[in-house]
Structure 1
Amino acid sequence: MKVEHPRLKQALAAEYVLGTLAGRARRRFERLLGVRADLRDEVRWWERRLAPLQHGFTPQTPRAVVWAAIEKQINAQTVTALPPPAGAAAPRGLRLWQAWALTATAASVVLAIGLARELNRPPPPAQLVRVEVPVFQPLPYVALLRPGESEVQWLVTLSPERRLIRITGSGKFPLDFSRESLELWVVGDDGTPRSLGVMPDDGDGEMPMPRGLTMPAKPTLAVSREPAGGSPTGLPTGPVITVSPALRAS
């Protein structure tokens, strides 16, 4: 048995759950269930889908001719007469059997209708599940800059991956900021200083890293005194007041 078409898988799984798949077809399907996870999933889906139907049945009594036809098919060798006229009492065992058979017939009809509706119902829309996976971010570089014996100091944090420089200052460096600025530099492995930008006047703030700047393997940070707005040459022109290596935070 090749069961690959989605509609065929649905129909076989539904008949299996209802109990209408019988004989060799049922045995072949049960063998496939042992090796096919997709068929087991289909069977479980139909079990969940059809289980609520059994709680909503209302017994219906079919006409006498319907019962006679059912009885004839159950036992072709026995001719079953129509029920006796009104007022005539039937044997108790026969009444119980008839009641059970009528209820089972009504249940089969309801299940068949429900199965037809489920097969024609479009599948539920796919649900997108968003899974957030944490992405590892390397720790930033950190350097503590302190000019000479001054009580002033700056904690500089560089995050190359975020292209961000954060400066936290303590104390105020004696400088006429209307005429001069403090400029932050990074010195690479080749000894060439590259400007990181003019430091905030109040000693605290954030600024973006310059475009195209690549952090050296062993960076060193330095601060120099420059004309207001920073060095006009792209290299330090005034005295360097503090130097410190920058290390990866741990």
Structure 2
Amino acid sequence: MAYSDDDIALAAEYALGTLDADERAQVETMMAADKDFTAMVRSWEHKLGALNQMVGSVEPRPEVWEGIRAAIGHSEARAPLVLPETPAPAVAPPVEGQAAEDSNVIRLVANARRWRTIASVASAIAAALVAIIGVGLSMPDLLPDRMRPRARTQIVEAKAPPVPAPSGQYVAVLQKEGGSPAFILTVDNATRNFTVRRVGASAEPGKSFELWLISDRLPKPRSLGVIGGSEFTSRPVLSSYDAEMVKGATFAVTVEQAGGSADGAPTSAPVFSGRLIETVPPAR
């Protein structure tokens, strides 16, 4: 059911407790006859109830009660004031149209008062909502349980890390001509790091195997270091050489004194050698 602005204002004022006795009786009569109007009044009471929750009770100071008691006692002890009778003022006869004008003025005053009440109620509700939201964000424990914001759980789907694209891989089998493999050399094309795996070779006591890079673009073989005694030996030294030169070079192993050649040049002929072949192509 649609209600007028006056009915809405009456419901709000009834919830606030600002009506006089006659108006309260009017509202209670309407509530007894109209369930929807009763629901509107209860709705206003619920909305304005938040204001009561935000304001604590305040105990008046003792001197306030003493002042009230003194004022009441003083007014009771005072003798009634008797005024001399005066003749009633003459009442001018009503002017034509004056009653209708007075009725319009009374209606306008009542409407203005109710609109002010509605504006005050709306402002109070807005202020209460702002206060509740602020308290809910900063200090939710101060709010009643039913007014506290519910905790939200956000599910974030974990994404697998991107799989790096495979780089090109090259392998060389270092062996004597027609013999079994002694070492396997693996080179990563992207980083040009290499790994030497010992397969079937073992150095004599007091000797070391040393790996060399041999290319027609270099004036002499370049040492890539001594091959360690463990199964795998890895180094990044090829990163200082051109990739195309590395792919076309010959890799050779010589037997040197323990710790490798002292002057950076091979002291004996290669005992094992081989060239790189592509085993894993780079990602396109």
TM-score norm. by structure 2 comes to 0.46
Asked if residue 145 in structure 1 is aligned to residue 174 in structure 2, the reply is: yes
1:205 Cα shift? 1.8
SS at 2:179's partner residue? coil
User: Which residue of the other structure, out of 264, 271, 279, is the alignment partner of 1:241?
Assistant: 271
SS at 1:101's partner residue? helix
User: Hey, what's the Cα distance between the residues in 2 that align with 1:99 and 1:106?
Assistant: 10
> Contact conserved, 1:186 with 1:195, CA < 8 A, in 2?
yes
Q: Structure 1 residues 206 and 99, CA, compared in 2 at 3 Å: closer, same or farther?
A: same
User: Hey, what's the Cα distance between the residues in 1 that align with 2:49 and 2:165?
Assistant: 60
Q: Which residue of 1 aligns with 2:255?
A: 225
Q: Which residue of 1 aligns with 2:204?
A: 176
1:220 Cα shift? 2.8
User: Hey, what's the Cα distance between the residues in 2 that align with 1:152 and 1:185?
Assistant: 17
User: Hey, what's the Cα distance between the residues in 2 that align with 1:65 and 1:210?
Assistant: 87
User: Hey, what's the Cα distance between the residues in 1 that align with 2:212 and 2:240?
Assistant: 11
Asked if residue 158 in structure 1 is aligned to residue 100 in structure 2, the reply is: no
Amino acid at match of 1:64: Y
Q: Which runs of 5+ in 1 are unaligned?
A: 1-60, 70-79, 123-128
* Counterparts of residues 34-113 of structure 1 (less than 5 Å): 64=14, 66=16, 81-83=23-25, 92-104=32-44, 106-107=46-47, 110=50, 112=126, 113=128
Q: Which residue of 1 aligns with 2:97?
A: none
List per-residue Cα deviations over 1:160-203 (Å, max 9, x = no partner): 75574322222234x4131x22111123450442211111235x
List per-residue Cα deviations over 1:52-81 (Å, max 9, x = no partner): xxxxxxxxx988362777xxxxxxxxxx82
SS at 1:81's partner residue? helix
User: Hey, what's the Cα distance between the residues in 2 that align with 1:65 and 1:209?
Assistant: 84
Asked if residue 195 in structure 1 is aligned to residue 135 in structure 2, the reply is: no
Q: Which residue of 2 aligns with 1:5?
A: none
Between Structure 1 and Structure 2, which shows a larger proportion of helix residues?
A: 2
Asked if residue 118 in structure 1 is aligned to residue 133 in structure 2, the reply is: yes
Q: Which runs of 5+ in 2 are unaligned?
A: 1-10, 51-124, 139-156
Q: Structure 1 residues 201 and 105, CA, compared in 2 at 3 Å: closer, same or farther?
A: same
1:231 Cα shift? 1.6
Q: Structure 1 residues 97 and 160, CA, compared in 2 at 3 Å: closer, same or farther?
A: same
In the alignment of these two chains, the number of paired residues is 170
Amino acid at match of 1:213: S
Q: Which residue of 1 aligns with 2:241?
A: 214
Q: Which residue of 1 aligns with 2:101?
A: none
List per-residue Cα deviations over 1:45-104 (Å, max 9, x = no partner): xxxxxxxxxxxxxxxx988362777xxxxxxxxxx821369xx86564434312233225
Q: Which residue of 2 aligns with 1:205?
A: 232
> Contact conserved, 1:196 with 1:209, CA < 8 A, in 2?
no
Q: Structure 1 residues 65 and 103, CA, compared in 2 at 3 Å: closer, same or farther?
A: closer
Q: Structure 1 residues 83 and 140, CA, compared in 2 at 3 Å: closer, same or farther?
A: farther
> Contact conserved, 1:177 with 1:201, CA < 8 A, in 2?
no
TM-score norm. by structure 1 comes to 0.51
1:214 Cα shift? 2.2
User: Hey, what's the Cα distance between the residues in 2 that align with 1:119 and 1:94?
Assistant: 38
SS at 1:106's partner residue? helix
User: Hey, what's the Cα distance between the residues in 2 that align with 1:135 and 1:185?
Assistant: 31
User: Which structure is larger by alpha-carbon Rg, 1 or 2?
Assistant: 2
Q: What is the root-mean-square deviation in Å for CA atoms of aligned residues? A: 4.1
